[in-house]
């Protein structure tokens, strides 16, 4: 396939390297020209994916016009920048392409929800495509994936979901490799909300780890976290089985326990007494759980869905609540049957 990867952070770079190494025609787009020049000159991305060599066949550009003409466009940017990138990309398309030919395929590898609009990336894509009068097909790629492990060739799995089942199947067949096994789904809502919500639970898991509350607490947090994510997904029309799959339990386990998790690392630092501004200033990486906590809490409020862990993360991240007090309040909640949704 001819693939364009928009976003040269760790995950975007990893996907570009992996698919280029697998024989696809791949161009990686960087937001900043200076980063594109560095990647072309040094054939690596030391800031976001150190120690990984870029294949000779991988193209790198900072010009969105160079990223047009793709079989599929993978958008791999933070959720707060997704709309702008998609809009700018659509503006680069020749006018004749807006009403003719095959619809453009967008594949989101972004795990988040817009804080201001509460739109998922599928909804953002649809809105921007309509404004540009461009026909598009949408899929979302998600799962328990660390960038460095994918580029190292470690066995990795993910799910690609689209309401267009034929598209999901095609992408599954064409993008799977010997070390990257893809499964298909039609539950876009479940995959997107599962991916965004688990980031918030992962921050909580980092706090539990940082406070040294033990494995009992961590296991309980992950289990109840999955429970409240399921409530949210069901309220928005998603499928419960999705949450027992790669975009649900799989991603939750990885992000809550893996030392490479940005969201878990953020929680560990919060438990150590660091403030959010201090933590954010020390890394170029984006921990999606920070913005996602607000967005997921607001989505839950819309549907009157109870998400107590998410609510406590908002209190910690935005209202300076003590992590220990948040744990105390969670443990003091009203007792109830476990199966109650």
Residue with tokens 């170029």: 284
Of the candidates 37, 98, 111, 198, the residue annotated as catalytic is 198
Question: CA-CA distance, 227 to 248, in Å (whole number)?
Answer: 10
Locate 32 and state its tokens: 């900043």
Separation of CA 235 from chain center? 21
CA distance 283 to 30: 18
To the query of whether residue 198 is one of the catalytic residues in this protein, the response is yes
Give the Cα separation of 76 and 81 in Å (integer). 10
3-state SS, one letter per residue, for the chain: CEEEEECCCHHHHHHHHHHHHCCCEEEEECCCHHHHHHHHHHCEECCCEEEEECCCCCEEECCHHHHCCCCEEEECCCHHHHHHHHHHHHHCCCHHHHCCCCCEEEEECCCCECCCCCCEHHHHHHHHHHHCCCCEEEEEEECCCCHHHHHCCCCEEEEEECCCHHHHHHHHHHHCECCEEEEEECCHHHHHHHHHHHHHHHHHHHHHHHCCCCHHHHHHHHHHHHHHHHHHHHHCCCCHHHHHCHHHHHHHHHHHHCCCCHHHHHHHHHHCCCCHHHHHHCCCCCCCHHHHHHHHHHHHHHCCCCCHHHHHHHHHHHHCCCHHHHHHHHHCCCCCCCCCC
User: Residues with catalytic annotation?
Assistant: 198
């Amino acid at each position: 396939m001819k693939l364009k990867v928009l976003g040269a952070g760790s995950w975007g770079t990893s996907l570009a390297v992996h698919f280029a190494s697998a024989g696809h025609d791949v161009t990686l787009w960087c937001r900043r020209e200076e980063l594109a020049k560095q990647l072309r000159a040094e054939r690596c991305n030391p800031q976001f994916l150190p120690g990984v060599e870029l294949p000779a066949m991988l193209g790198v550009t900072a010009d969105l016009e160079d990223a047009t003409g793709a079989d599929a466009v993978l958008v791999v940017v933070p959720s707060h920048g997704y709309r702008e990138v998609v809009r700018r990309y659509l503006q680069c398309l020749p006018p004749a392409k807006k009403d003719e030919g095959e619809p453009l395929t967008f594949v989101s590898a972004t795990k988040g929800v817009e804080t201001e609009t509460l739109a998922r990336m599928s909804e953002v894509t649809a809105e921007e495509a309509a404004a540009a009068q461009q026909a598009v097909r949408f899929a979302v790629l998600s799962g328990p994936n660390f960038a460095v492990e994918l580029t190292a060739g470690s066995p990795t799995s993910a799910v690609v979901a689209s309401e267009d089942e034929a598209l999901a199947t095609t992408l599954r067949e064409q993008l799977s490799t010997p070390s990257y096994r893809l499964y298909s789904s039609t539950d876009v809502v479940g995959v997107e909300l599962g991916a965004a919500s688990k980031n918030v639970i992962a921050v909580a898991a980092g706090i539990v780890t940082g406070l040294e509350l033990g494995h009992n607490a961590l296991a309980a947090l992950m289990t109840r976290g999955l429970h409240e994510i399921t409530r949210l997904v069901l309220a928005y029309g998603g499928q419960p089985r999705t949450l027992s799959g790669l975009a649900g339990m799989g991603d939750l386990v990885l992000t809550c326990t893996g030392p490479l998790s940005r969201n878990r690392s953020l929680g560990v630092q919060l438990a150590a007494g660091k403030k959010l501004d201090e933590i954010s200033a020390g890394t170029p990486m984006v921990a999606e759980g920070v913005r996602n906590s607000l967005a997921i809490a607001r989505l839950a409020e819309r549907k009157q869905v109870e998400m107590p862990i998410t609510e406590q993360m908002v209190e910690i991240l935005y209202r300076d609540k003590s992590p220990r007090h948040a744990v105390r309040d969670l443990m003091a909640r009203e007792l109830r049957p476990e199966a109650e949704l």
